[in-house]
């Protein structure tokens, strides 16, 4: 669906687009400054922007600055022809239309709260898979977490695993640990799955010969918890993601050896030598020599 509005003297046909913080973090590297998509913050890790209907290109900050109409008004105008929000099925509203997803983020009153068990809680898992449940409906939340894992397994970009709840101030982070303590392992697993996918997308644009880009990996512990880890080749300049554990690979003696530390232990031991970067998702820069492949080249 599109809407054509006059911004200044130019008619622009646009469609809304849902963004997560991790994607915007990657775009800050590939499309910085005036080339960055112009977005409106709606809550949690979620934002809404506009794409040109003709070619799917994002309306950028530089372009939006020339408009006489406020950007949020343009976003709202693009939502006027949205179709109805689907009814819940077994307590879960599943939205597969990105325009409708954007509409409930910008205009939360569109959600039929009375049809849910508790205040609306929204999971923007993927642009075409936004789920809404009631804050008191544990079984519905469990079904959404199942859907989140299915979407991760299917591959492709994801938006956010951090749910937001509807309050008098709009969409705000949902305190799932307090509401559903028995589901902590499930939530933590999904959060780590989505984190790994976000880092994978970031790694693609970070590649450079003088720094090792460490990617997080997943491991299911004997306790049933899902943990993330990344490997640091000791002495190598590395961009390290935020993970549960750091595997330190030391080959300085001629024989490879491995040791494991929590991220906190690793950072405490490194002191001021390791610096948190401004990247999103966050990474730490560990100084050292270029990777061996770069030295050999």
Using pLDDT thresholds of 50, 70 and 90, give the confidence band for residue 256. confident
CA-based max dimension of the chain:
69
pLDDT on residue 252: 75
pLDDT of the residue at 12? 72
pLDDT at 2: 44
Sequence-separated (6 or more) residues with CB below 8 Å from residue 119: 113, 134, 135, 165, 166, 167
Q: What is the pLDDT of residue 234?
A: 95
pLDDT of residue 9 exceeding 50:
no
Q: How many CA atoms does the CB half-sphere of 74 hold within 13 Å? A: 30
Say whether pLDDT at 73 is over 60. Answer: yes
Q: Which residue has the tokens 């963004």?
A: 19
Instruction: Place 81 in a pLDDT band, splitting at 50, 70 and 90.
Output: low
What is d(CA 243, CA 41) in angstroms, rounded to the nearest whole number? 27
Tell me which residue of 59, 82, 76 sits closest to 1, measured CA to CA: 82
Q: What is the pTM of this model?
A: 0.91
Instruction: Please tell me the predicted confidence (pLDDT) of residue 69.
Output: 87
Find how far residue 248's CA is from the centre of its chain. Answer: 28
Q: Is the pLDDT of residue 30 over 80?
A: yes
Residue 113 has pLDDT above 60, yes or no: yes
Question: Looking at residue 11, what is its pLDDT?
Answer: 63
Q: How confident is the model at residue 251 (pLDDT cuts 50, 70, 90)?
A: confident
- Summarised one tens digit per residue, pLDDT across range 185-222 is 999 999 999 999 999 999 999 999 999 999 999 999 99
What value does the mean pLDDT take over residues 281-293? 92
Is 277 or 82 the better-scoring residue by pLDDT?
A: 277
pLDDT band at 70 (very low <50, low <70, confident <90, very high): very high
- What pLDDT, on the 0 to 100 scale, is given for residue 105? 97
Per-residue pLDDT at 280: 94
From the CB of residue 91, how many other CB atoms can be counted at a distance below 10 Å? Answer: 20
CA distances from 116 to 92, 130, 160, 184, 293 (A): 8, 15, 22, 22, 56
Distance linking the first and last C-alpha atoms of the chain: 51
What is the average pLDDT score of the chain? 92
Provide the β-strand partners of residue 168: none
SS (H, E, C) the chain: CCEEEEECCEEEEEEEEEEEHHHHHHHHHHCCHHHCECEEEEECCEEEEEEECCCCCECEHHHHCCCCCCHHHHHHHCCCCCCCCCCCECCEEEECCHHHHHHHHHCHHHCCHHHCCCCEEEEEEECCEEEEEECCCHHHHHHHHHHHHHHHHHCCCCCCCCCEEEECCEEEECCHHHHCHHHHHHHHHHHHHHHHHHHHHHHHHHCECCEEECCCEEEECCCCCEEEEEEEECCECEEEECCCEEEEEECCCCCCEEEEEEHHHHHHHHHHHCEECCCCCCEEEECCECCHHHHHC
Predicted pLDDT of residue 248: 96
Instruction: Provide the percentage of residues in the chain whose pLDDT is more than 70.
Output: 93
């Amino acid at each position: 669906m599109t809407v054509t509005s006059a911004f200044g003297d130019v008619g622009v046909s646009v469609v809304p687009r849902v963004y997560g913080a991790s994607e915007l973090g990657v775009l800050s590297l590939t499309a910085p400054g005036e080339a960055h998509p112009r977005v409106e913050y709606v809550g949690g890790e979620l934002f809404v922007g506009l794409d040109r209907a003709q070619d799917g290109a994002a309306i950028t900050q530089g372009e939006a600055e020339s408009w006489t109409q406020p950007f949020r008004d343009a976003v709202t105008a693009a939502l006027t022809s949205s179709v109805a929000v689907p009814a819940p099925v077994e307590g879960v509203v599943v939205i597969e239309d990105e325009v409708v997803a954007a509409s409930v983020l910008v205009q939360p009153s569109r959600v039929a709260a009375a049809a849910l068990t508790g205040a609306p809680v929204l999971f923007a898992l993927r642009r075409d898979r936004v789920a809404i449940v009631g804050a008191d409906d544990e079984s519905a939340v469990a079904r959404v977490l199942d859907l989140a894992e299915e979407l991760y397994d299917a591959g492709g970009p994801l938006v956010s695993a951090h749910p937001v709840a509807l309050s008098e101030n709009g969409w705000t982070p949902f305190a799932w640990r307090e509401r559903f303590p028995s589901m902590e392992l499930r939530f933590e697993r999904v959060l780590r799955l989505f984190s790994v996918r976000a880092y994978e997308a970031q790694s693609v644009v970070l590649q450079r010969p003088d720094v090792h880009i460490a990617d997080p990996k997943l491991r299911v512990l004997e306790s049933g918890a899902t943990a993330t880890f990344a490997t640091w080749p000791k002495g190598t300049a590395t961009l390290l993601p935020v993970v549960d554990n750091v595997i330190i690979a030391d080959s300085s003696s001629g024989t490879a050896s491995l040791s494991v530390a929590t991220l906190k232990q690793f950072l405490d031991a490194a002191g001021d030598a390791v610096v948190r970067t401004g990247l999103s998702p966050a990474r730490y820069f560990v100084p050292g020599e270029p990777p061996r492949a770069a030295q050999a080249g």
